[in-house]
C-alpha cells in the first residue's frame, strides 16, 4: 500500500514552489503520493507563511484541527515547514507537542532524513538552519505539471525593510549558479513547459555564478539565456524590488519579446517619509522615473504593485500621496494590506498610531480605486487579439479552456482539449470582474 502525504501550503509563490518540491523529495525518497484526504495520510505537512498578521495563530489553529488525526493514529507524522517554522523553531514543538518535524524553507530537502529520525527516535526533530545553496543541489529532477512552471533562481533577502520578516526567516540573498537554473528549465521544456516564472524573494538581486569564470549573471542576462532555450516561449519573474530594478531590466522589456508584458514592482507607499521609515531604498520620484522608462520600453505593460496601508504614523497626507502615486504610475493591479507588526522586525517597536477603523477606511478607498483601474484595463482589451498560453480547463463551462495573456489576465474560451499546452490567438469579447472571455482565432504550432 502506497504512503500518502497530505500537504497544505500558505503564502506566496515561493511557498507554492517549495511545497511542490517537498512532495517531489518525499516521492523520490519514500514513495509518497499526495492526497486531498487527511484521513488516509500517514504524513501531514503544513507549509507556513509569516508575512501577514496573526500568522502564528493561524498555524496553531490549523494544528489544533489536526489533533484528531494524530489521536486517531499516533504513528502519523506531522511536520511544519516554512517561515513560521523558521521563526518559532523548537518553541513550536513545545507549544504543540503533536508536531514531530519542524523545518525551514532552506532545509526542506532534508525532509527524508528528518522523517526517518523522528520515526526512529519517536522524538521531535528541528532543523531551521540556512545551508545556503545545498537545497537546490539535493532536490530531485524537476517535474512538469502543465505548460507553465515556477523556477526558483535565488533565495532570501538582504534588504531588511523595517516591516518585513523575510530576511529573518529565509536568510540572506543566495543565488543559484546560472548552469543549474538553465539545466532545470531545459528539463522542464523537454516535458512540455512553454512558460516559466523565475522566482525569488528579491529576484532582481539574482547574481548567479557563470561556471568557473568568476563572472556573475544578473537577472537581465538570465532572461536572455532562458529565452534561447528551445521550447520556452514566455518568461515572467517575481518578486522585484524597485531599488534593484536596473537599466538592464528595463532594456530587457524592449529587447526580449519572450519577456511577458507584466511587471510586479512593489512600491508599498507613495510618501517619501513613509518609504524612509520602511527603509525601502528609493524615493517616490525614483520609482516613477523607472515606471516611465519601462513604459517606454514596453507600452502595453500591465503594472502590478503592493501597498501597505496604515504604517505607523501614516497621516492622511501620506495616504493622499499614495493615492496620487496610483494615478501617476498607472497601476492596473495591486495587492494591498493593512499594516500589522511582525515580531522581531524594527517596525514592531514603533507605536501603531493609526486607528484600526482608519486603516480599514483607507484600504477600502485604495482597493476601490485599483478595482476601477483593473476593470478599465480589461475593458481596453475587448476587441483585441491576445496570445494566450492554454493552461487548463476552465473552472466553469464544459468545452471551455483557460489561459493567460502576456499581461497576466485569465481568459476563458471554447476550444478542444487538444490545445492544452499550446499558444493560441484569442479575440477578447467580454471583460468580467475576475477574468476575460474570448473567441479562438488561431493556433500556433508547438516549438
Would you state the pLDDT for residue 447? Answer: 42
Q: Cell 504512503 identifies what position?
A: 3
pLDDT at 444: 59
Give me the pLDDT at residue 104, please. 86
State the residue for C-alpha cell 532582481. Answer: 204
Cα separation, 331 vs 336, whole angstroms: 12
Written as one string, the DSSP assignment of 52-106 is STTHHHHHHHHHHHHHHHHHH-TT-EEEEEHHHHHHHTHHHHHH-TT--EEE-GG
φ and ψ at residue 316, rounded to 5 degrees:
-65, -35
Residue 345's alpha-carbon distances to 87, 191, 269, in angstroms, are 12, 42, 18
CB 310 within 8 A of CB 339: yes
| Spatial CA neighbour of 295 closest among 254, 352, 337, 240 | 254
Whole-number pLDDT of residue 64: 87
Cα 73 to Cα 4, 41, 49, 319: the distances in Å are: 14, 10, 27, 53
- What pLDDT does residue 280 have? 97
E strand map for 239-355: 262-264, 302-309, 333-338
Q: Is 252 helix (H, G, I), strand (E, B) or coil?
A: helix
CA distance 196 to 142: 13
pLDDT of residue 90: 87
Nearest of 86, 5, 96 to residue 49 by alpha carbon: 86
CB within 8 Å of 175: residues ≥ 6 apart: 153, 154, 205, 206, 207, 208, 209, 216
Which pTM value belongs to this model? 0.84
Residue numbers of the chain with a pLDDT score lower than 50? 445-447
Q: What pLDDT score does 261 carry?
A: 98
Q: Please, are residues 443 and 424 in contact by the beta-carbon 8 Å criterion? A: yes
Measured CA distances, 165 to 162, 180, 339, 342 (Å): 8, 28, 13, 6
Q: CA–CA separation, 43 vs 301, rounded Å? A: 44
Predicted local confidence at residue 53, as pLDDT: 61
Reference 306, options 326, 292, 289, 324; nearest CA is 326
pLDDT in tens, 336-386: 999 988 888 999 999 888 999 999 999 999 999 999 999 999 999 999 999
Amino acid at each position: 500500500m502506497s504512503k500518502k502525504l497530505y500537504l497544505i501550503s500558505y503564502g506566496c509563490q515561493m511557498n507554492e514552489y517549495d511545497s511542490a518540491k517537498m512532495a517531489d523529495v518525499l516521492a523520490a525518497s519514500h514513495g509518497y503520493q499526495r492526497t486531498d484526504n487527511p484521513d488516509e495520510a500517514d504524513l501531514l505537512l503544513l507549509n507556513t507563511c509569516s508575512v501577514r498578521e496573526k500568522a502564528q495563530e493561524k498555524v496553531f489553529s490549523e494544528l489544533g484541527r489536526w489533533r484528531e488525526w494524530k489521536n486517531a493514529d499516533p504513528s502519523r507524522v506531522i511536520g511544519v515547514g516554512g517561515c513560521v517554522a523558521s521563526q518559532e523553531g523548537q518553541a513550536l514543538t513545545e507549544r504543540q507537542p503533536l508536531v514531530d518535524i519542524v523545518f525551514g524553507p532552506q532545509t526542506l530537502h532534508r525532509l527524508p532524513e528528518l522523517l526517518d529520525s523522528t520515526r526512529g527516535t519517536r522524538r521531535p526533530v528541528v532543523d531551521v538552519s540556512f545551508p545556503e545553496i545545498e537545497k537546490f543541489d539535493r532536490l530531485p529532477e524537476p517535474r512538469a505539471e502543465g505548460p507553465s512552471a515556477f523556477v526558483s533562481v535565488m533565495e532570501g533577502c538582504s534588504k531588511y525593510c523595517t516591516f518585513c520578516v523575510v530576511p529573518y526567516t529565509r536568510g540572506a540573498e543566495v543565488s543559484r549558479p546560472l548552469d543549474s537554473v538553465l539545466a532545470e528549465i531545459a528539463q522542464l521544456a523537454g516535458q512540455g513547459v512553454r512558460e516559466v516564472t523565475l522566482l525569488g524573494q528579491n529576484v532582481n538581486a539574482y547574481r548567479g555564478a557563470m561556471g568557473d569564470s568568476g563572472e556573475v549573471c544578473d537577472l537581465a542576462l538570465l532572461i536572455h539565456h532562458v529565452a534561447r532555450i528551445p521550447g520556452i516561449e514566455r518568461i515572467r519573474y517575481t518578486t522585484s524590488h524597485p531599488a534593484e530594478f536596473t537599466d538592464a531590466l528595463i532594456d530587457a522589456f524592449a529587447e526580449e519579446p519572450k519577456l511577458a508584458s507584466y511587471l510586479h514592482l512593489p512600491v508599498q507607499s507613495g510618501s517619501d517619509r513613509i518609504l524612509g521609515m520602511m527603509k525601502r531604498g528609493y524615493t517616490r520620484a525614483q520609482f516613477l522615473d523607472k515606471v516611465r522608462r519601462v513604459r517606454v520600453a514596453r507600452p502595453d505593460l500591465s503594472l502590478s504593485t503592493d501597498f501597505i496601508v496604515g504604517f505607523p504614523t501614516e497621516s492622511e497626507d501620506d495616504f493622499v500621496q499614495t493615492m496620487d502615486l496610483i494615478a501617476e504610475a498607472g497601476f492596473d493591479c495591486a495587492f494591498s494590506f493593512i499594516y500589522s507588526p511582525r515580531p522581531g522586525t524594527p517596525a514592531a517597536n514603533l507605536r501603531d498610531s493609526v486607528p484600526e477603523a482608519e486603516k480599514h477606511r483607507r484600504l477600502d478607498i485604495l482597493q476601490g480605486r485599483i478595482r476601477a483601474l483593473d476593470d478599465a484595463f480589461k475593458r481596453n482589451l475587448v476587441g483585441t487579439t491576445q496570445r494566450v498560453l492554454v493552461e487548463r480547463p476552465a473552472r466553469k463551462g464544459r468545452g471551455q479552456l483557460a489561459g493567460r495573456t502576456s499581461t497576466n489576465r485569465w481568459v476563458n474560451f471554447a476550444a478542444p482539449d487538444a490545445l492544452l499546452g499550446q499558444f493560441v490567438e484569442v479575440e477578447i469579447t467580454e471583460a468580467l470582474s475576475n477574468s476575460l472571455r474570448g473567441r479562438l482565432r488561431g493556433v500556433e504550432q508547438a516549438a
